[in-house]
Chain A
Amino acid sequence: MEPILEVKNLRKNYKDFSLKDVSFKLDRGYIMGFIGQNGAGKSTTIKLIMNLLKRDGGEIKIFGKDNIKHEIEVKNKIGFVYDECYFYEELTVLEMKEIIASFYKEWDDDLFNKYIKEFDIPPKKKIKDLSKGMKMKFSLSIALSHNADLLIMDEPTSGLDPVARSEILDILSDTIQDENKSVFFSTHITSDLDKIADYIVLIDNGEIILSSSKDEILDNYGLVKGSKELLDDETKRKFIGIKVNNFGFEGLVNDKKQMKRIFGDMVLIEKPTLEDVMLYHTRRDFNV
């Protein structure tokens, strides 16, 4: 079966920033976390997928179809949630829903009503009077109510309190119980992905620097801690990033078994979090 989302050699050039041959693919039934610092190119990539920006090169295929040539068809099967509320804040929840619903072929009003009941969203309230968490849940209700196969989310949890974040993540986990659906989720809060992501794509300065399954990363990568005397030019080269202070060093490697062979019990090797993986890959001062 073809991937639900496939991005190949995607390019976009600005004066001070470029997306350089971005490629990755997402299969049906999985959640992909798209991580990177602010300004790394996450939103640009998502805007190119949604045709909000025009690409300078490369290919984007959704359900095996070009995202521009088959724009209306593919957008009917995409649910989107953005980092901010871009709805008309002067309208009520129901008014906004009525307007949006009319454009989707498979809009399911019962499902929408179920979600807003579950999320305690008051249907007659104006959108401007909803809290940030409520707005995000409303956005998610819209995204989930037209039988979309692909959910595209750009930093949906940024600015939310931990309870609202956790609720949103639970909903995403439930969504993915359906094996035909996938979620593409950009965030810089990597702890969100520790729980729910199957795949991780890391972007830095417009380039994909890591694309792998989360389990593979967490199984193979290691956070190595030890005395700085152990480090020489050759061993340093085995690290993705390294941080040295007066007491010793801490560094990230992508093959912890190799480290075990080299240093044995002289170092402590811990399981990294996704945040460690992102930081050591992207922080220039950690680079070897």
Chain B
Amino acid sequence: MYSLLLKDILVQKKQFLYGILLAAVYSFAFSSNNLGGVLTVFVFPYIFVLTAASYEEKNKAEMILISLPIKRSLLVMERYISVFLFAALGAIEYIIVVGVANLVELPIKFSTLTIEPVLIFGLAVYYGIYLPLYFKFGYIKTRWVNFVMFFGLFFGVAGLISAINKYGTNSQVLNSLITFFKNQSNTVVANELIIMALLIYALSYMISVKIYNSREF
């Protein structure tokens, strides 16, 4: 597993320098609402998981990987783990950027990073949907799906929140869901989100293994 993760880092090691720049830009641009860290952590897997997949497809490296004594399920698991590995690397780069900025006392306000359970939930749902499609059709055929999902998520969530705020909600299901969460403590909600994230991710992984086991190269 370590070697598989390592190859995804090594093939794009230069990209981590751009990652630093990205973290700095997000931190500065979203300093007013403290969203820079969250965005960096969410955007990192989008960039790095997809770049790793694109190199794999460009080199047709799956021919080699599948021919090695490795179970296909391990190759699938590596992709699922790499999402959170790159999210963690995003967090580390972000902390370094903000830390250095504080250290040299730049006269600019940078937002700090808070890892919200909703972020982990978001990553699990996002890649839980995308990865089975990727394992079925490969990177090239699914990159537009991913592009649409990514921007759909940002504009969709923002749109939904403003719509709910503006018009309220007439949906009984949604109302009862909001009440359900409002009546619980933050810790309970956090735990529920993490458990749901794990369940969704595990289910998605099982679907991907099934798909990848029958894939031909």
Contacts and interface: CB of A to CB of B under 8 A. Distances in A.
Interface of A: 47, 50-54, 71-73, 75-76, 78, 80, 82, 84, 86-91, 95, 98-100, 102-105
A201 to B, nearest CB: 21
B61 A88 contact: yes
Which size class do B's interface residues fall under?
20 to 34
A91 B10 contact: yes
A50 B62 CA distance: 12
Given A51-B66, A71-B71, A100-B64, 5 more contacts: A73-B69, A75-B69, A88-B56, A88-B59, A95-B10
Interface stretch (B1-9, B141-149, B175-183): B1-9
B217 interface: yes
- Which of A75, A87, A88, A95 has the most chain B CB atoms inside 10 A of its CB? A88
Contacts of B71: 71-72
A50 B66 contact: yes
Given A86-B61, A89-B59, A50 B67 contact: yes
Contact of A86 (B11, B60, B70): B60
B216 A86 contact: no
Given A53-B216, A76-B69, A104-B69, A99 B7 contact: yes
Contacts of A88: 7, 10-11, 55-56, 59, 61
A84 B217 CA distance: 14
A99 B3 contact: yes
A164 B64 CA distance: 22
Interface in B170-217: 214, 216-217
A75 B3 contact: no
B64 A87 contact: yes
Nearest to A74: B69
B68 interface: yes
Contacts of A84: 60
A52 B70 contact: no
B49 to A, nearest CB: 16
21 contacts: A47-B216, A53-B217, A71-B71, A72-B70, A75-B68, A75-B69, A86-B61, A86-B62, A86-B63, A86-B64, A87-B64, A88-B55, A88-B61, A90-B11, A90-B59, A91-B10, A95-B10, A99-B4, A102-B2, A103-B3, A103-B68
B6 A99 contact: yes
